[in-house]
Amino acid sequence: MNNYIRAVRELACEILDLMAEGLWVRDPSYFSKMIRDVENDSFFRINHYPSCCNNNTTRVGFGEHSDPQILTILRSNDVGGLQISPDHGVWIPVAPDSAAFCVNVGDVLQAMTNGRFVSVRHRALSYSSQSRMSMAYFGAPALQARVSAPPEMVTTNRPSLYRPFTWAEYKATAYSLSLGDNRLDLFINCKDDDHKKLLD
Ligand SMILES: O=C(O)CCC(=O)C(=O)O
Ligand SMILES: [Fe+2]
């Protein structure tokens, strides 16, 4: 298990380095160094949505939410259920593939890219006739790390959308709210119309 976690952490770092490069961030390790930090607050979770009977009912197994951290590397067995919501009320199923990773941008990466990468809302349905297992690595900064977009992400056309915060502050906010609440909105810098347009 430790080997698996080390491998997905390395994968997360490589993806983050490519994202930084693609965004022309001068320091390509700007995002990945937060989860390479020895004090990083990353964690690993195994979800099990057990089958119960054979009556073909569908329930929500894991309610709608966005992942608060930087990047999530998720893998599941061959049972479907994961859905993403690119727009309010729209749900798109993610085809199950036990040989593939599903990579989610987390709220912190949305803040650090000044809204260029969006933390997608998702949920997991649970089918009564099939048992779903998923395992997720959540790459997170150290509690005291300061989350802010690098200067390259902030321009006159795209002013800083979010005020800087520490991961400890963000985590405390997330835990004080309900799973489905949009916590990143509480960190928006200013609420004038231009800012709002960028977030739509
Ligand atoms: O089980 C899944 O596919 C989703 C799990 C999830 O979103 C999470 O653990 O944050
Ligand atoms: Fe999630």
Active site residues: 132
- The protein residue with its alpha carbon nearest to ligand 1, atom 10, reads 67
Sign for the CA dihedral angle at 4, 6, 10, 15 comes to: positive
Distance from C-alpha of 145 to C-alpha of 152, rounded to nearest angstrom: 19
Ligand 2 mean position to 155 CA, how many Å? 31
List, for residues 81-135, the tens digit of each pLDDT value.
999 999 999 999 999 999 999 999 999 999 999 999 999 999 999 988 899 999 9
Kindly state the average pLDDT of the residues 56-67. 93
| Dist. CA 67 → ligand 2 center (Å) | 5
pLDDT-based confidence at 77, cuts 50/70/90? very high
Residue 164 pLDDT exceeds 80: yes
pLDDT score recorded for residue 52 = 83
Ligand 1 centroid – CA 79 distance (Å): 13
- Decide if 89 contacts 14 (C-beta within 8 A): no
| Greatest pairwise CA separation for the chain in angstroms | 58
Q: Where are the domains of the chain?
A: 1-187
Model pTM score: 0.94
What letter does residue 94 receive in the DSSP assignment?
A: P
Distance CA(174)–CA(191), nearest Å, equals 21
pLDDT for position 141: 98
Q: How far apart are CA 190 and CA 197, in angstroms?
A: 12
pLDDT of residue 157: 92
In whole numbers, what is the pLDDT of the chain averaged over residues? 94
How much is the pLDDT for 55?
Answer: 80
Instruction: Count CB atoms within 10 A of the CB of residue 32.
Output: 24
Q: How far apart are CA 133 and CA 41, in angstroms?
A: 23
Residue 17 has pLDDT above 90, yes or no: yes
CATH number assigned to the domain covering 1-187: 2.60.120.330
Pocket test for ligand 1, best of 45, 47, 78, 104 (most atoms within 8 A of CB): 47
